[in-house]
Structure 1
Amino acid sequence: MIKKISLTVCSLLLTFGAFAQQVEFSKYTLDNGLDVILHQDNTAPVVTVAVMYHVGAKDEEEGRSGFAHFFEHLLFEGTENIPRGEWFNIVAANGGRNNANTTQDRTYYYETFPSNNLELGLWMESERMLHPVINQIGVDTQNEVVKEEKRSRIDNAPYGKILYNTGISPYMFEKHPYKNSVIGTMEDLDAAQLDEFKAFFEKYYGPNNATLVVAGDFEEANTKKLIEQYFGPIEAKPEVERVNVKEDPITSTIKATEYDDNIQIPAKLYVYRTPSMKDRDAYVLDMISSILTDGKSSRMYKKMVDENKEALQVLAFPRSQEDYGTYVMGALAMGDTPLEQLGKSIDEEIEKLQNELISEKEYQKLQNKFENRFVNSNSNIQGIASSLATYHTLYGDVDLINEEIDIYRSITREEIREVAKKYLNKNQRLDLDYLPTPEDAK
Structure 2
Amino acid sequence: MKPKFILSLLLSGFYLVATAQQVKFTEFDLDNGLHVILHEDKTAPVVVVSVMYHVGSKDEQPERTGFAHFFEHLLFEGSPNMKRGEFMKIVSSNGGDNNANTSQDRTYYYESFPSNQLELGLWLESERMLHPKIDVAGVKTQNEVVKEEKRMRMDNSPYGKFTQNIFTNLFEGHPYRWQPIGSMEHLDAATLPEFLAFFKKYYAPNNAVLTIAGDIDPGKTKELVKKYFDEVPKGAPVVKQKFELKPITKQIIDTAYDANIQIPAIFAAYRVPGMQSRDNKVLGLISTLLSGGGSSRLSTKLVDDKKTALQVAAFNYSLEDYGAYITFALPNNNTPLNDLLKDIDAEVERLKTDLISESEYTKLQNQFENGFISANSKMLGVAENLASGYTFQNKNTNDINEELNVVKSITREEIREVARKYLNQNQRVVLYYLPQK
Q: Give the unaligned 5+ runs of structure 2.
A: 1-19
- Rounded to whole Å, the distance in 1 between the matches of 2:247 and 2:192 is 39
- Tell me, yes or no, if the aligned pair for 1:268 and 1:331 is still in contact at 8 Å: yes
- Rounded to whole Å, the distance in 1 between the matches of 2:375 and 2:400 is 9
- Tell me, yes or no, if the aligned pair for 2:284 and 2:315 is still in contact at 8 Å: no
Instruction: After TM superposition, give the deviation of residue 335 of structure 1 in Å.
Output: 2.0
What code does the residue aligned with 2:265 have? A
- Rounded to whole Å, the distance in 2 between the matches of 1:200 and 1:325 is 26
Match of 2:284 in 1: 286
- Tell me, yes or no, if the aligned pair for 1:277 and 1:322 is still in contact at 8 Å: yes
Matching residue within 194, 197, 213 for 2:195: 197
Matching residue within 232, 241, 247 for 1:243: 241
Match of 1:261 in 2: 259
**SS of the residue aligned with 2:79?**
coil
Instruction: After TM superposition, give the deviation of residue 294 of structure 1 in Å.
Output: 2.0
- Rounded to whole Å, the distance in 1 between the matches of 2:215 and 2:205 is 24
Match of 1:306 in 2: 304
- Seq. identity, %: 59
- Tell me, yes or no, if the aligned pair for 2:21 and 2:400 is still in contact at 8 Å: no
- Tell me, yes or no, if the aligned pair for 1:322 and 1:394 is still in contact at 8 Å: yes
More relative contact order, 1 or 2 (CA 8 Å, 6+ apart): 2
- Answering whether residue 429 of structure 2 is matched by residue 416 of structure 1, we say no
- Tell me, yes or no, if the aligned pair for 2:290 and 2:313 is still in contact at 8 Å: no
TM alignment of 1:316-355, pairs within 5 A: 316-355=314-353
Instruction: After TM superposition, give the deviation of residue 223 of structure 1 in Å.
Output: 0.9
- Answering whether residue 102 of structure 2 is matched by residue 102 of structure 1, we say yes
Match of 2:12 in 1: none
- Rounded to whole Å, the distance in 2 between the matches of 1:218 and 1:347 is 51
- Answering whether residue 161 of structure 2 is matched by residue 184 of structure 1, we say no
Instruction: After TM superposition, give the deviation of residue 218 of structure 1 in Å.
Output: 1.2
**SS of the residue aligned with 1:259?**
strand
- Tell me, yes or no, if the aligned pair for 1:259 and 1:434 is still in contact at 8 Å: yes
Instruction: After TM superposition, give the deviation of residue 340 of structure 1 in Å.
Output: 1.2
Write the deviation string for residues 76-121 of structure 1: whole angstroms up to 9, x where unpaired: 0111111101111100111111010000000000111111111110
**SS of the residue aligned with 2:374?**
helix
Match of 2:35 in 1: 35
- Tell me, yes or no, if the aligned pair for 2:21 and 2:404 is still in contact at 8 Å: no
- Tell me, yes or no, if the aligned pair for 1:293 and 1:329 is still in contact at 8 Å: no
- Rounded to whole Å, the distance in 2 between the matches of 1:168 and 1:315 is 16
**SS of the residue aligned with 1:160?**
coil
- Rounded to whole Å, the distance in 1 between the matches of 2:378 and 2:97 is 14
Match of 2:75 in 1: 75
What code does the residue aligned with 1:434 have? Y
Match of 1:6 in 2: none
Match of 1:215 in 2: 213
Instruction: After TM superposition, give the deviation of residue 252 of structure 1 in Å.
Output: 0.5
- Rounded to whole Å, the distance in 2 between the matches of 1:140 and 1:317 is 37
**SS of the residue aligned with 2:209?**
strand
What code does the residue aligned with 2:296 have? S
- Tell me, yes or no, if the aligned pair for 1:269 and 1:431 is still in contact at 8 Å: yes
- Rounded to whole Å, the distance in 1 between the matches of 2:284 and 2:306 is 26
- Tell me, yes or no, if the aligned pair for 1:26 and 1:38 is still in contact at 8 Å: yes
Matching residue within 366, 369, 375 for 1:368: 366
Instruction: After TM superposition, give the deviation of residue 292 of structure 1 in Å.
Output: 1.0
- Rounded to whole Å, the distance in 1 between the matches of 2:206 and 2:380 is 23
Match of 2:22 in 1: 22
Q: Give the unaligned 5+ runs of structure 1.
A: 1-19
What code does the residue aligned with 2:99 have? N
- Tell me, yes or no, if the aligned pair for 2:41 and 2:215 is still in contact at 8 Å: yes
Q: Report the aligned-residue RMSD.
A: 0.9
Under a length normalisation based on structure 2, what TM-score does the superposition of the two structures give? Answer: 0.94
- Answering whether residue 152 of structure 2 is matched by residue 152 of structure 1, we say yes
Bigger mean CA deviation after superposition, 315-324 or 236-245 = 315-324
Instruction: After TM superposition, give the deviation of residue 215 of structure 1 in Å.
Output: 0.7
**SS of the residue aligned with 1:139?**
helix
**SS of the residue aligned with 2:164?**
coil
Instruction: After TM superposition, give the deviation of residue 168 of structure 1 in Å.
Output: 1.1
- Tell me, yes or no, if the aligned pair for 1:256 and 1:430 is still in contact at 8 Å: yes
**SS of the residue aligned with 1:244?**
coil
**SS of the residue aligned with 1:313?**
strand
Match of 1:7 in 2: none
Match of 2:400 in 1: 401
Match of 1:127 in 2: 127
- Rounded to whole Å, the distance in 2 between the matches of 1:369 and 1:274 is 22
- Tell me, yes or no, if the aligned pair for 1:50 and 1:214 is still in contact at 8 Å: yes
- Rounded to whole Å, the distance in 2 between the matches of 1:216 and 1:238 is 32
Instruction: After TM superposition, give the deviation of residue 317 of structure 1 in Å.
Output: 3.6
- Tell me, yes or no, if the aligned pair for 1:58 and 1:243 is still in contact at 8 Å: no
Match of 2:142 in 1: 142
- Rounded to whole Å, the distance in 1 between the matches of 2:72 and 2:221 is 26
Instruction: After TM superposition, give the deviation of residue 43 of structure 1 in Å.
Output: 2.0
Bigger-Rg structure (1/2):
1
**SS of the residue aligned with 2:47?**
strand
- Tell me, yes or no, if the aligned pair for 1:207 and 1:235 is still in contact at 8 Å: yes
**SS of the residue aligned with 2:161?**
helix
What code does the residue aligned with 1:148 have? E
Instruction: After TM superposition, give the deviation of residue 152 of structure 1 in Å.
Output: 0.6
- Rounded to whole Å, the distance in 2 between the matches of 1:112 and 1:86 is 17
Match of 1:426 in 2: 425
- Answering whether residue 88 of structure 2 is matched by residue 88 of structure 1, we say yes
